[in-house]
Structure 1
Amino acid sequence: MSDTEISPLQDPTQEAQETANENPLLAAIDLGSNSFHIIVARMAQGEIRTVERLGEKVQLAAGLDEQQNLTEEAQERALNCLSRFAPFLTGIQHDNIRIVGTNALRAAHNSQQFLNKAEAILGFPLEVISGREEARLIYVGAAHSLATQKGRRLVVDIGGGSTEFIIGEGFEPLALESLHMGCVAYTQRFFNDGQITAKRFQQAVLAAKNELLNIVKPYKKLGWQQIVGTSGTIKAAATVLQQQGWSEHNITREGLVKLSRELVKFKQLDQVEIEGLKADRAKVFPAGIAILLAIFELLDLDEMEYTEGALREGILYDLVGRFSHQDIREQTVNALIERYQVDAQHGQNISTTALHLYQQVKKQWQLQGDDFNLLLRWAAQLHEIGLAIAHSQFHKHGAYLLQHSDLSGFSRQQQSVLAVLVRSHRRKFPMIEFRLLPDSLQQPLIYLAILIRLSVLLNHSRPDEAITCVEIKVEEKQINLQFPENWLEENPLMQTDLELESQYISGSGLTLAFS
């Protein structure tokens, strides 16, 4: 057999397909306040191996007007970038893609308008994450890119609209914070007319120090043995300092002072030109260096190393964790149950009944995928969390806690979904709450809410084991519950509850019948 011949027992196409199935493609898109990034990778032998990587300066934060709305021009820049990203998602499984927005989209009052347009281009849902969730994911990405060592590390990420600070050990973050200062935001605030002066630069440094005062004491008390920076500003600083010979390897305080003096000599942002600095970062570089210098001075840092791992890598590793049953959201839900002393057994019974009903209707109600079963289970487990505040209207208290707490692993939209499901599990059906959610989610979540309501009702007497003897059938807007023979006669209170529930459910546009 020649070297070019292929054995009939080997099919390279099949072999490649098997490899792809075992190591599927993953994709993460980071919609940052300064830059948008996409990374496509494959998980192989416990490592994420990059297949494609692309980044563009969009400066979304610069497109926030006085009313904190994204301008049409800024949206157009962002959507054009996403149009170039979209082809990279072709062929990747839906559950293997995560697209997150950060500070600029947290701040924009019209962010949902933009998200709807972006979703139409990409064909996948987008989520806006909280500052602390952003910090957690940054730490996950950085930790996986660094050599394992004993002790704590401080990770700093200067973005366009916010700066994240994390202290962690190994792969576990111990302290998370996101402060409202970033290279784009500070450029607009201190250098908005394009002028650079020593006075303005110092004002930016002092403003950053003022923001840092909130975390200095607790962070120093916790302490660290390693200092790591990540993302654009810090990468650019490391590159410039080395190119200029102001540091050998890491970023140093002495080097930053020299760099600061050099920057103010340019007088104009559009004249900033230093060896090692990319032209598309030059205009926001002085503001970023002002923030970095403030961090060094107030936290008493002498040196900082740079690592490539950041938010988008953290998103990928978080996705991998979900596949391997290490979903941080599970830990978060369990922590909430413990913190607020929720009746875990009863919550589990509600969850079991809800999933029993879900399996029977998911096809007709088109509830497959998109984490619907997970959201249903978590909302069922947490439906009584509001009792920690008061029994009266505890469903509303529970919704408030879930909406406004920092929940690791959850996007703001997922928190809103959990809040609405908990809010709607009893009493009047709150249709107005569902109308505040994205159009594509409204009807599916109404269905999930009904499944939780029915599960709570069926387990009203708090039995030792979940009620799973009920069959549910749906047809158009009709819901039919079928009980075992004589079951309702033996449980007369249940029949009364069902009659009242049928009135509540009618508020959702559906009707309930039972026999």
Structure 2
Amino acid sequence: MSSTTPADAVSPAPSSPELIAAIDMGSNSFHMVVAQLVHNEIRPLEKLGEKVQLAAGLDARNFLDEASQHRALACLERFAQRISGMPRGAVQIVGTNALRVAKNARAFIRRAEKLIGHPISVISGREEARLIYLGVAHSLSDDADNRLVIDIGGGSTEFIIGQRFETKELESLHMGCVSYRDRFFGDGKITQLQFARAFVEASRELLNIRNRYRSVGWHHCVGSSGSIKAIEQVLTHNQWGMHKITPDGLVKLKDEVVRLGKISQLTKLGVRKDRLSIFPAGLAILMAAFDVLQIEEMEFCDGALREGLLYDMIGRIHHEDVRERTINSLQERYHIDREHAAAVEGTAVALWKQLAEQWKLPNEELTELLRWASRLHEVGLAISHTQFHKHGAYLIRYSDLAGFSRQTQQSLAMLIRVHRRKILDTVFDEYALEDADPLKQLAVALRLAVVLQHSRNCEVLDSVKVKANKRSLTLIFPKDWLQSRPLTSADLEAEKGLLTKFGIDMEFREEDS
């Protein structure tokens, strides 16, 4: 299920998996790493990569064409054989820029998930940057100095400044080796003018981050993408830099690339055939980064997004989940009443456990989403009490939330949007039916918890019993409980009317004596 069950939201990590795997569905290439987790250490067993060029299949309206989808699905089918039988929480799969942009990404993801048997998350550019840095940081020796990490992808380029395993600056710029190839080198020629145009356009993008990044500063610069690896290999092959990338080496390489004049001629410099078409674009982007950010030297590191996914997974296994830190940070930043939020969370989860069992829903997979929504349901109060559920939904949907995929943010925002007042069916229009129904049922649990905690006495109500079938539910309270709480009874009566319009018939009563 692509909307309600993205990998980051609902793939509970196994307690001690023998094998774990990560797949990076990049705009240019798809990569998979399968590893063994031994005493909290990752031991890579196999790495696979295929040039899919998903971004090349985006048409003028940003729809993926059938040919690019076919290439992607064929690749995933081969990957699926390697991870067959691995439990759901042991595999993490993410899509990046091409799937962020594609207007038909949701339909494609449903096809891909059905084929590979695991959820696929589309992550934001900054979340991609965070995971890239995590992979790089674990691949390098420990260093207390700031480092700048650059990763040139097919549709975007990520820039991260971090220290040890923590990031300080994260940015994803809309420039990539596939998109720039199509814009500037689509005819297969490499002229001085074409290269200059690509360089200038990349420089313009980089001006947006120059001052901020130069102000923070770094001691080492690391490149982590296939494009940078290819450039470093060509520089070493031609003795323009021994396993180092420098401004002088890049200038010599650019001069030779322009002198040769055609992409097909770049094999003379040692460029691999599978990287020929995107090599000039990647070179233009890297040279612009060196120029605008005044980089003196860069080393290549093989760690990248897929390794970052593995280390992020280990963090979840050991309850060091960056998503929990994100939720706590939001509660602090927007001055959320944590005691009340905890009471809503406890009540919602108590109700949901009963509902999920009777509605035959994957309780474990959706409970975490309900917990997060409960903790953040009042986030919109930081803007205004009037329609705060709408303000909260906007904040969550469009914020950069470390650790969360786009799908999870969308589902989280939707739950906050419908936790009170009238529920509009149009809110669920962007979801497929199989995704919308569980979210609707999750929303019912959250709404009831909010109603039951209206008095804000901060006591978890876990004594309420629930009987439910597909379109109806009955709340059963302890004897005399409702009678002593006339305001709650009135609130439940009002909620009954709202849920009826939502297609849920609700009744409530006390236990028989």
TM-score by length of 2: 0.94
1:270 to 264, 271, 279: 264
Shift of 1:275: 5.0
1:471 matched to 2:462? The reply is no
Give the direction of change, closer, same or farther, for the CA distance of 1:326–1:429 in structure 2 (3 Å limit): same
1:258-300, Cα deviation, whole Å (9 max, x unpaired): 1111111222223321454221111100110011111111111
Shift of 1:370: 6.4
Give the direction of change, closer, same or farther, for the CA distance of 1:504–1:27 in structure 2 (3 Å limit): same
* Letter paired with 1:514: F
1:462-490, Cα deviation, whole Å (9 max, x unpaired): 00322222111212322111100011111
* Letter paired with 1:318: D
Indicate conservation of the 8 Å contact 2:230/2:271, yes or no.
yes
1:151 to 145, 159, 165: 145
1:128 matched to 2:147? The reply is no
Distance in 1 (alpha carbons) for counterparts of 2:351 and 2:204: 53
Structure 1 residue aligned with 2:416? 422
Residue aligned with 2:475, SS: strand
Moved more, 42-51 or 283-292: 42-51
* Letter paired with 1:33: S
1:436 matched to 2:426? The reply is no
Distance in 1 (alpha carbons) for counterparts of 2:470 and 2:251: 69
* Letter paired with 2:447: R
Shift of 1:347: 0.6
Shift of 1:54: 0.8
Structure 1 residue aligned with 2:344? 350
* Letter paired with 1:70: L
1:498 to 462, 481, 492: 492
Q: How does 1:149-298 map to 2 (within 5 A)?
A: 149-298=143-292
Shift of 1:82: 1.2
* Letter paired with 2:153: G
Higher relative contact order (CA 8 A, sep 6+): 2
Give the direction of change, closer, same or farther, for the CA distance of 1:115–1:221 in structure 2 (3 Å limit): same
1:335 matched to 2:319? The reply is no
2:353 to 359, 363, 372: 359
Distance in 2 (alpha carbons) for counterparts of 1:459 and 1:21: 34
Indicate conservation of the 8 Å contact 1:36/1:58, yes or no.
yes
1:396-420, Cα deviation, whole Å (9 max, x unpaired): 1111111111111000000000011
- Which 5+ residue runs of structure 2 have no aligned equivalent? 1-13
2:297 to 283, 303, 313: 303
Distance in 2 (alpha carbons) for counterparts of 1:37 and 1:242: 25
Structure 2 residue aligned with 1:12? none
Distance in 1 (alpha carbons) for counterparts of 2:91 and 2:435: 18
Shift of 1:37: 0.8
1:46 matched to 2:40? The reply is yes
Moved more, 271-280 or 164-173: 271-280
Indicate conservation of the 8 Å contact 1:386/1:397, yes or no.
yes
Of all paired residues, the percent bearing the same amino acid is 51
Give the direction of change, closer, same or farther, for the CA distance of 1:370–1:107 in structure 2 (3 Å limit): farther
Give the direction of change, closer, same or farther, for the CA distance of 1:95–1:83 in structure 2 (3 Å limit): same
Distance in 1 (alpha carbons) for counterparts of 2:364 and 2:244: 43
Structure 1 residue aligned with 2:94? 100
Structure 2 residue aligned with 1:17? none
Indicate conservation of the 8 Å contact 1:321/1:327, yes or no.
yes
Shift of 1:430: 2.5
Structure 2 residue aligned with 1:90? 84
Structure 1 residue aligned with 2:311? 317
Indicate conservation of the 8 Å contact 1:23/1:44, yes or no.
no
Distance in 2 (alpha carbons) for counterparts of 1:169 and 1:136: 12
Shift of 1:359: 2.0
Residue aligned with 2:357, SS: coil
Residue aligned with 1:200, SS: helix
1:312-361, Cα deviation, whole Å (9 max, x unpaired): 11111111111111111101111111111111111111001011112222
Distance in 2 (alpha carbons) for counterparts of 1:288 and 1:129: 22
Shift of 1:149: 1.0
Residue aligned with 2:358, SS: coil
Give the direction of change, closer, same or farther, for the CA distance of 1:289–1:369 in structure 2 (3 Å limit): farther
Distance in 2 (alpha carbons) for counterparts of 1:327 and 1:258: 45
1:57 to 22, 37, 51: 51
Distance in 2 (alpha carbons) for counterparts of 1:379 and 1:22: 28
Distance in 2 (alpha carbons) for counterparts of 1:442 and 1:494: 29
Indicate conservation of the 8 Å contact 1:58/1:77, yes or no.
yes
* Letter paired with 1:356: A
Indicate conservation of the 8 Å contact 2:233/2:243, yes or no.
no
* Letter paired with 2:326: T
* Letter paired with 2:319: H
RMSD: 1.4
Aligned length: 496
Indicate conservation of the 8 Å contact 1:135/1:178, yes or no.
yes
Distance in 1 (alpha carbons) for counterparts of 2:16 and 2:458: 41
Distance in 2 (alpha carbons) for counterparts of 1:440 and 1:163: 34
Distance in 2 (alpha carbons) for counterparts of 1:350 and 1:305: 50
Give the direction of change, closer, same or farther, for the CA distance of 1:485–1:303 in structure 2 (3 Å limit): same
Moved more, 368-377 or 89-98: 368-377
Give the direction of change, closer, same or farther, for the CA distance of 1:134–1:23 in structure 2 (3 Å limit): same
Distance in 2 (alpha carbons) for counterparts of 1:442 and 1:476: 14
* Letter paired with 1:253: P
1:405-453, Cα deviation, whole Å (9 max, x unpaired): 1111000000000011001101112222123123332111111100000
